[in-house]
Amino acid sequence: MKFRTGYTKARWVALAAATLLVASACGDAGSDDSETGEYEVAESPEFEEGSRMAELADQGSIKIGVKYDQPGIGFRGAGQDAPTGIDPELGKIIAGQLGIGPDDIEWVETISDNREPFLENGTVDLVIASYSITDERLEIVGQAGPYYVTGQSLMVAADDDSINGPDDLEGKTVCSVRGSTSIDTVEQEYGAEPAGFDTYSECNDQLINGSVDAVTTDGAILLGYAAENPDELKVVGEPFSEERYGVGYSPDAPEMCEFLNETIQSSFDDGDFETAFDLTLGKSGNEMPEEPALDPCAA
Ligand code: GLU
């Protein structure tokens, strides 16, 4: 694969626009700023002819699926021009290596349940949406990475002392999202009564209004919600699964894997990933983790 890294550099500076967010009526307000990092946009990157990377670079635009309701990870509030969070930041890093600047990224909201279909039917070119790499998903789509590792956790009302870990969930109503790894684990392994919704912000609202006893998903997601409602919500217990976030790509473009892995690895090495992390997840109490070793691409 020809992946030229020695190109002339064009740097863009995205304005750290302090966007006044209008909190949504249902209480799932996002982070209160829309700061973004400064990443390289390759001037004339070269890719093997016919590859998906070459197509995207020629086209000069890319469609990226991210979450819109997960503060710190992928969030787009009323009045925000573009989503914020570690996932959109990584999207900008990747697009930059294709020669595509942030204004030419078309952001598409994905929820957990439509990530595979969106990649299969071309609604998006990439999914970067708290998307754990799993064997089941790899049967359907490509996933490069991981770029971040978190673990499933629990969030309860701040004044609830009855749930301190997954072993306390037997018979409790636990909200999670259809099409996620989280809902399967809690139902199959811990005997909880699952309440399945489309988005975690709906679960967040259910917990705040007392309709469910707990919300479960990745700690990184829950910390974002708890940070926004510290008087009402808290994250409890130790993580009880390993969620390795990958970048999803079309099953028809296996050549994307090496490119994505190289781009993720260079963002670790040149500090771009850390910049992205500090501006996003780092603000809701998450520690910058040790950068994970990337899975090799299938031969
Ligand atoms: N990372 C887990 C998953 O991919 C849970 C978070 C989510 O649903 O996005 O299913």
CATH number at residue 132: 3.40.190.10
User: With 0-12 CB in 10 A as exposed, 13-18 as middle and 19+ as buried, what is 292?
Assistant: middle
Mutation to probe ligand 1, out of 174, 181, 240 (largest number of atoms < 8 A from CB): 181
The answer to whether residues 133 and 29 belong to one domain is: yes
CA of 49 to the centre of ligand 1 (A): 34
Ligand 1 midpoint to CA 221 (Å): 9
Ligand 1: centre distance to CA 11 (Å): 32
87, 135, 180: which to mutate for ligand 1, most atoms within 8 A of CB? 180
Residue 213 domain-assigned?
yes
For residues 125-133, give the mean pLDDT: 98
What does the pLDDT look like over 175-193, one tens digit per residue? 999 999 999 898 889 989 9
Q: Same domain, yes or no, for 62 and 139?
A: yes
pLDDT for residue 282: 87
The residue whose C-alpha atom lies closest to atom 9 belonging to ligand 1 is: 130
* CA 144 to centroid of ligand 1, rounded, Å: 15
Pick the atom of ligand 1 nearest to 177's CA. Answer: 8
How many domains, the chain?
2
Residues lining ligand 1, Cβ inside 6 A = 112, 130-132, 177, 180-182, 217-218, 243
Tell me: do 39 and 124 sit in the same domain: yes
Pocket mutation for ligand 1, best pick of 177, 204, 222 (most atoms within 8 Å of C-beta): 177
Instruction: Tell me how far the alpha carbon of residue 180 lies from the centroid of ligand 1, in angstroms.
Output: 5
Same domain, yes or no, for 13 and 143?
Answer: yes
Q: Does residue 165 sit within a domain? A: yes
Q: Are residues 139 and 256 in the same domain?
A: yes
Separation of CA 247 and ligand 1 centre (Å)? 12
Name the band, by pLDDT with cuts 50, 70 and 90, for residue 230. very high
Domain assignment present for residue 296? The answer is no
**Is the overall model pTM greater than 0.85, yes or no?**
yes
Q: What is the pLDDT of residue 266?
A: 97
| Residue 61 shares a structural domain with residue 130 | yes
More confident residue, 210 or 2: 210
Domain limits at 255? Answer: 8-148+245-284
Q: What is the pLDDT of residue 34?
A: 58
- 10 has pLDDT over 90: no
Q: What is the mean pLDDT of residues 6-16?
A: 30
Evaluate whether residue 3 is within a structural domain. no
In this prediction, residue 131 carries a pLDDT of 98
pLDDT > 90: percent of the chain: 77
Residue 252 lies in a domain: yes
Closest CA to ligand 1's atom 8? 180
Nearest protein CA to atom 5 of ligand 1, as residue: 180
Chain centroid offset of residue 89 CA: 10
- pLDDT digit string (tens) for 66-79? 999 999 999 999 88
Q: Does one domain contain both 25 and 80?
A: yes
Q: Residue 76 C-alpha to ligand 1 middle, in angstroms?
A: 18
Closest atom of ligand 1 relative to the 134 alpha carbon: 4
pLDDT-based confidence at 33, cuts 50/70/90? low
Q: 252 and 194, same structural domain?
A: no
Mean pLDDT, the chain, integer: 88
Beta carbons of 75 and 69 less than 8 angstroms apart? yes
What integer pLDDT is reported at residue 19 of this predicted model?
Answer: 25
Please, which pLDDT band fits residue 36 given cuts at 50, 70 and 90?
confident
* Judgement on whether residues 59 and 142 belong to the same structural domain of the protein: yes
> How large is the average pLDDT for residues 141-167?
96
The Å distance, Cα 59 to ligand 1 centre, comes to 30
Tell me, in angstroms, the distance from the centre of ligand 1 to residue 10's CA: 34
Tell me the per-residue pLDDT of 118-128, one tens digit each, with 9 for 90 and over: 999 999 999 99
Tell me what the mean pLDDT of segment 40-46 comes to.
95
Percent of the chain with pLDDT over 70: 88
**pLDDT over threshold 60, residue 27:** no
Tokens of 276: 């992205």
The answer on pLDDT for 283 being more than 90 is no
Q: Contact at 8 Å (CB) between 13 and 38? A: yes
The residue whose CA is least distant from atom 10 of ligand 1 is 180
Indicate the pLDDT class of residue 137, thresholds 50, 70 and 90. Answer: very high
